[in-house]
Homo-oligomer: A and B are copies of this chain.
């Protein structure tokens, strides 16, 4: 089943308005959620929407909270999200980072006390749409053991980098520090599939591609083993220090995954290059990668963001694929 983007936005808008959003915020938030599904990140679009509504009902997300700037010095600012709606606060923070980059060449906004930003990549696309390089990340609840450990101490802290092209075909990498998300593992389990590469440990402490086993032990594997573990720790430290916000460990004491900390960095290539020059540099690098000899016959190499763009184009035309059960539940909300 497929649902047109505009119809999905309308439903989300209706429900968010019912839960205390003002009309403008409801429209913005609805477009972010539907946009995530349109980009193929269903886990943080429609599929996540019911959980967000339940958080609204539990009072864990404040629908009318607006983020405020607590401190600022030159090109860096510290903002408080007041446990408002994660994606709107994050969008506001990246927008402000871009404003700072317009003025100083680079801008950094550290956003504490926010909620889940859903799909991190969307803030990379946002910066790139304004012509900026975007770098951003969020911490999470403790959902992964550090390398060498068994219990969940670190976050899978999604990390995003975006490089603009004036065509809108931006290059955007959006990746969590775990090899697979819990959502992806669940998806594989439900389909009776194995993971393509080891994603964690089984109950006997061996690396495993069996999603059910990994879900049981919760010993998720950091991407690149010790590397993803180390990067995750560094991302949490930088975010927590700059935002004065909750660390991964503190988020773990809050019950639900709320009160997260995020960093938004924007850099203005336009201070050094014409748009045409930046485009030509990016195009040259991307074109070179696309000439790779495929590892599999008939295969090809994708640049980061290429598949999201394909999903967007296809889903805009044909409608967004939905899990019927979830869509019906949303219609009934």
Contact = CB atoms under 8 A, between A and B. Distances in A.
Contact of A227 (B154, B224, B234, B295): B224
Nearest to A150: B293
Given A295-B205, A301-B148, A171 B237 contact: yes
Nearest to A295: B150
A76 interface: yes
A238 B76 contact: no
Contacts of A106: 74-76, 104, 106-108, 265
A288 interface: yes
Interface stretch (A8-16, A40-48, A54-62, A242-250): A242-250
Interface residues of A, number: 80
B293 A149 contact: yes
Contacts of A159: 231
A50 interface: no
A332 B145 CA distance: 49
A66 interface: no
A96 to B, nearest CB: 13
A182 interface: no
Interface in A131-186: 133, 135, 145-151, 153-154, 159, 161-163, 171, 173, 175, 179
Contacts of A175: 224, 227, 230-231
A299 B291 CA distance: 45
Interface stretch (A21-29, A84-92, A271-279, A321-329): A271-279
Residue from A149, A205, A296 with most neighbouring chain B CB atoms (10 Å)? A149
Nearest to A124: B234
A149 B237 CA distance: 35
A268 interface: yes
Given A108-B106, A293-B149, A241 B224 contact: no
A234 B150 contact: no
A98 to B, nearest CB: 14
A240 B163 CA distance: 11
A71 interface: yes
A296 B175 CA distance: 28
A233 B289 contact: yes
A312 interface: no
A-B pairs, 8 with minimum CB distance: A223-B224, A149-B292, A76-B105, A74-B104, A230-B304, A161-B234, A173-B230, A73-B271
21 contacts: A74-B103, A75-B105, A106-B108, A133-B238, A147-B301, A148-B292, A148-B299, A149-B294, A151-B292, A153-B289, A153-B291, A161-B234, A173-B230, A205-B295, A223-B223, A227-B228, A241-B278, A247-B281, A247-B284, A247-B288, A248-B285
Interface of A: 71, 73-76, 78, 103-108, 110, 133, 135, 145-151, 153-154, 159, 161-163, 171, 173, 175, 179, 197, 205, 223-225, 227-228, 230-231, 233-238, 240-242, 244, 247-249, 265, 267-269, 271-273, 278, 281-282, 284-285, 288-289, 291-296, 299-304
Given A241-B278, A247-B288, 6 more contacts: A73-B268, A76-B105, A76-B106, A104-B104, A237-B285, A244-B273
